[in-house]
Amino acid sequence: MKVFYEILGCWKNIYDSEEMIRKLIDDFQVEIVKKIEEADLCIINTCCFIDEAREENLEIIAYYNKIKAEHPEKKVVLYGCFVQLYKEELQKDYPLIDKMFKLSEKEDLYNYIREISKELSLNLINKKIEIAYFMHHIQFLKISEGCNNHCNYCIIPSIRGSLKSKEISEIINEIKEKEKKSRIREYILIAQDTMSYGKDRGEEHGLVNLVKAILKELKGKKRWLRIMYMHPKNFDYEILELMKNSKIICRYFDLPIQHSEDKILKLMNRGYTKNDIMKLIERIKKELPKSSIRTTVIIGHPEETEEDFENLYNFLKEGKIDFFSFFKYSLEKYSKDYNLYKDNKFNKEIIERRLEKLAELQYELIQKASKRWENDTRNIIIDEYDEEMKKYLIRSEFQAPEIDGNFKISLSEIKDLNLKVGQIY
């Protein structure tokens, strides 16, 4: 059976999808194809984190609904976060989609694939391929599922449930399997909040203990270990000491502050203050001066004033943050905020103006970071070779893939080096 698999959403969805695809290949011997036209079955892993994600997903679902109308012999399946919350509505609006499965119905999805294999009388294809929906030299490691932070604007606990950390042994075994593939050079720890790892088991330093175990497993190997999604409320300062003494851990801090102003942080139920953020950043810069900090912020909270926004803007402009992303506040039906703000009228013009101003600042900070790194020696990884530009796209350890940009290096500048994509230099 030939399967076309489409992934919508975040890195965590990529991880989940790659795990599912490996099972489909190993247990069902399906062939993964790159074109919808070649597929017997299309699986779409959906996302519904914010309004923009839902709008994008609905466009794609409508497209598959049309494909099903034109090619009724194909099977089309929806799976994932969007279905978890809106299964009944989606079934009503897109009746041609064959089946829809919630995250909690994964086994039902596998049973359905068994059924259609028999129904279509398809021969199983024993074709092993290397799965990488991201870059081949990068491997995500999802260390936990769900979240216990319960931010007032967020629906993740409604979709993914409460925090459930994987066992350290399970993660180490996963790394051992990945290490059998010589191409992996960078491991990226992901979760809703990596700093909460192990707290569901009552562990005080769960993430630190996990990282120590990973360092032991990777000892003597030329690898990078990057930690994403570090909730400031749960930050464990012991991680700084590990970074100081390790050549493997990237000195990179992904701290999603979401806002700088105490009033908004309290309304969001983030669990820290502006002063807490400043102390955390100062401690990082003091102990690891050669490091980078990235964050995300949310613009347009219903109670965000012009003064709140200007203070956030100035906080980011100070330059203590190297990279940031920004999102428009999205009022989610299943969030704690919903009943409180559902009758509010949002001034779209004001929010768009604020977003434009942040976009300009984002570019400005990237330029400052580039200037600051001139004449510096750093470890880099090569992500890609661009045939058209005749340039290698490289990153330092202080940049996460895709979200923090690349440096471009021409062949003439490195003509004496035999560089390879996916290697660290």
**Quick check: 124 pLDDT over 80?**
no
With bands split at pLDDT 50, 70 and 90, how would you rate the model's confidence at 132? low
CA 195/CA 197 separation, integer angstroms:
5
pLDDT at 125 over 70: no
Instruction: Write down the residue that tokens 């701290």 correspond to.
Output: 255
Mean local confidence (pLDDT), 413-418: 70
* Residues 12, 344: Cα–Cα separation, whole Å: 32
Segments making up each domain of the chain, as ranges: 2-119, 138-372, 380-414
Alpha helices, DSSP H only, in 120-221? 156-160, 168-178, 206-218
Query: Over the chain, what is the mean pLDDT?
Result: 91
Question: What distance in Å separates the CA atoms of residue 146 and residue 158, rounded to the nearest whole number?
Answer: 9
pLDDT, one tens digit per residue, over 189-219 is 999 999 999 999 999 999 999 999 999 999 9
Phi, psi of 395 (to 5 degrees): -130, 150
Strands 380-386 and 391-396, by their bridges, are: antiparallel
Residue 216 tokens read as 């032991």
Strands 292-299 and 323-328: parallel
Burial class (CB in 10 A: 0-12, 13-18, 19+), 332: buried
Torsion of CA 383, 387, 388, 390, to 10 degrees: 80
- pLDDT tens digits for 65-92? 999 999 999 999 999 999 999 999 999 9
Beta bridge partners of 394: 382, 407
Looking at residue 34, its pLDDT comes to: 87
Q: Which CATH class is domain 138-372?
A: alpha beta
Q: Which residue has the higher pLDDT, 124 or 300?
A: 300
Give the tens place of pLDDT for each residue, 163-198. Answer: 999 999 999 999 999 998 778 999 999 999 999 999
Domain 2-119, classified CATH 3.60.110.10, yes or no = no
- Estimate the crossing angle of helix 306-317 against helix 348-372, to 10 degrees: 10
Residue count of the chain, please give it: 425
299-347 pLDDT, tens digit each:
999 999 999 999 999 999 997 899 999 999 999 999 999 999 998 887 8
Are 91 and 100 within 8 A, CB to CB? yes
pLDDT tens across 338-374, in order? 999 998 887 889 999 999 999 999 999 888 877 877 8
Task: Look at residue 127 and tell me whether its pLDDT is greater than 70.
Answer: no
Looking at residue 416, what is its pLDDT?
Answer: 64
Per-residue model confidence as pLDDT tens digits over 248-280? 999 999 999 999 999 999 999 999 999 999 999
pLDDT score for 121: 47
Mean pLDDT of 400-407: 90
Burial of 233 (0-12, 13-18, 19+ CB in 10 A): middle
